[in-house]
Structure 1
């Protein structure tokens, strides 16, 4: 297969804690689908921990190695360059996880840890949180809108069921409407099968 549409992520948010010489590193891990979600979670944590010294984070979205869908960011939030956000991001890469945001909130304990100590602390806090997580395999899909008359429903639903398409929205009246998710690797069989059905219109909406 030239293209693998699967990726590893986590099922739900988890937390971890690492301590070193008085400093506390609280790690919060979230499954995300967009940069906006990452910003929202980060804002929530800043509200919850206003007295923390640093809110360092990294997130990764999409797949490698194609690059076109790969988005990542690492932020040190005032820590020395390469000592916080980058170790968090590298941990996501080393565990082959994506569509994840990790925020490590640091409360300074009075003793400087140095760059090697910080790298170890941010990496360890991230690993501790990820160790609590349930890792799941998900798939990159295209969302399509299917419009069809009621009499075509049986033919449409046969394609939906035989290809195990996830239906995200449905309206069954005289004029019917379905929103379905089609795995990238199944596009070449699903789309032509739907197009062959009389009076069916399909429209690509977005990749999720």
Structure 2
């Protein structure tokens, strides 16, 4: 345990998926290609949706749901032409039941000629979303924050000790007449890290 207390008590943790997963589910000749992606913002979501629409341009439906934010307070479900609440909501339901966020699940459907009915559609999209999650890896993630620091060379050792002690990530650094760095770390450490940095002589700090 560090001098900064027990990091497990910080309320900056959430569950998400660690990578992209994909697969195929079939029901009465209809094909459901399912995908799950870890995402951080709506721009990433748009890019994934655009890529899938280009790849599966001849598919009848690209249904999806996503959630963002530690508290999952940003979300959307889209039926993309399927009957209301028969596709997007079942996908979103699987995200919620697994307590996930920062995730996008897309299910691309090719109609096989046999109608599934509303209940059949709901079950097919629910199953596809569940498989997309099951075949991925659920991981614990932390909210991050970053600071920009500017300091003279004589205090470099103090800065590096702090970086090493708390596993801070150096996003960028510039060494000229003096030193400038951008550091990233979990949100729960912000007050403690900022206070420690401010205690270093001649160091200037900006929270980004």
Relative to the length of structure 2, the TM-score reads 0.91
- Partner in structure 2 of residue 38 of structure 1: 45
Residue 198 of structure 1, aligned match among 172, 196, 201: 201
* Pairing partner for 1:10 from 7, 17, 29: 17
- Give 2:175's match in structure 1, choosing from 156, 172, 189: 172
Matches within 5 A, 1:86-165: 86-165=89-168
Is 1:186 equivalent to 2:189 in the alignment?
Answer: yes
Q: d(CA) in 2 for partners of 1:112 and 1:51?
A: 18
Q: Could you say which residue in structure 1 is the equivalent of 2:58?
A: 51
Q: C-alpha displacement at 1:96, in angstroms? A: 1.3
Where 1:106 maps in the other structure, the secondary structure is strand
Count matched residues: 201
Deviation at 1:173, TM superposition (A): 3.4
Cα deviation code 1:37-92 (max 9, x no counterpart): 0000100000001110000011111122xx7xx21111110111111111111101
1:52 match: secondary structure: coil
Aligned counterparts of 1:71 and 1:129: Cα–Cα separation in 2? 20
* Other structure's SS at 1:202 match: strand
> Cα offset for 1:2?
7.9
1:15–1:129: 8 Å Cα contact kept in structure 2? yes
Q: Is the 8 A contact 1:17 1:129 kept in 2?
A: no
Give the corresponding residue for 2:86: 83
SS at match of 1:133: coil
**What is the distance in 2 between the residues matched to 1:16 and 1:109?**
17
Q: Quick one: which of 40, 62, 67 aligns to 1:60?
A: 67
Deviation at 1:116, TM superposition (A): 1.1
Normalised TM-score (structure 1)? 0.91
User: Gaps (5+ residues) in structure 1?
Assistant: none
Cα distance in 2 for residues equivalent to 1:167 and 1:124:
41
